Structure 1
Amino acid sequence: MTLLSFSLNTNNMRTVTFGMNISIDGYCDHTIFNPSEELMDYFTEMMDDVDLLFFGRVMYQLMFPYWSDVAEDQSGTAAENRFAKRLSAIDSVVVSRSLDSAGANTRIIRSNPAAELLKLKQQPGKKISVDSVSLLPELIAASLIDEFNLVVHPVIVGKGRPLLEAGSLQEKLDLKLANTIHFKSGCVALHYLKQ
Structure 2
Amino acid sequence: MRTVTFAMNISLDGYCDHTIFNPSEEVHDYFSTLLNDVDLLFFGRVMYQLMFPYWADVAKNQSGTADENRFAERLTAIDKVVMSRSLNQVEYTTRLVRSNPAEELLKLKQQPGKKISVDSVSLLPELISAGLIDEFHLVVHPVMVGNGRLLLDGGSLQQNLTLKLVDMIVFKSGSIALHYLKQ
Task: Report the TM-score when normalising by structure 1.
Answer: 0.93
Which residue of 80, 83, 95 corresponds with 1:95? 83
Distance in 1, Cα, partners of 2:7 & 2:25:
18
The corresponding residue for 1:121 is 109
1:163: which partner in 2? 151
% identical aligned pairs: 77
1:105 matched to which residue of 2? 93
- Post-superposition CA distance 1:132-188 (Å, at most 9, x none): 000000000000000000000000111111100000001000000010000000000
Q: How many residues align?
A: 183
Q: Which amino acid letter does the alignment assign opposite residue 129 of structure 1?
A: S
What SS does the aligned partner of 1:125 have? Answer: coil
RMSD between superposed Cα atoms in Å: 0.5
Output aligned runs, 1:39-58, within 5 Å: 39-58=27-46
Runs of at least 4 residues of structure 1 off by over 6 A?
A: none
Q: Distance in 1 between matches of 2:39 and 2:104?
A: 16
Task: Show the counterpart of 1:72.
Answer: 60
Helix, strand or coil: the match of 1:111? coil
User: 1:38 offset after TM fit, Å?
Assistant: 1.2
Distance of 2:74 and 2:66 partners within structure 1: 13
Structure 1 residue 185 corresponds to structure 2 residue 170:
no
Q: Any unmatched runs of 5+ in structure 1?
A: 1-12
Determine if contact 2:166/2:179 at 8 Å carries over to the other structure: yes
CA deviation after TM superposition for structure 1 residue 103, in Å: 1.0
Contact 2:41-2:119 within 8 A present in 1 as well: yes
Does the CA-based 8 Å contact 2:139-2:176 persist in structure 1?
A: yes
C-alpha change, 1:104 and 1:29, in structure 2 (3 Å) is: closer
Q: 1:85 — aligned with what? A: 73
**Which residue does 1:3 correspond to in 2?**
none
The alpha carbon displacement at 1:104 in A equals 3.8
Partners of 1:52 and 1:104 in 2: CA distance = 12
Q: Deviations over 1:46-74 (max 9, x none)?
A: 10000000000000000000000110010
| Structure 1: distance between partners of 2:54 and 2:120 | 17
Return the letter of the residue paired with 2:14: G
- Go from structure 1 to structure 2 and tell me whether the alpha carbon gap of 1:26 and 1:104 turns closer, same or farther (over 3 Å shift): closer
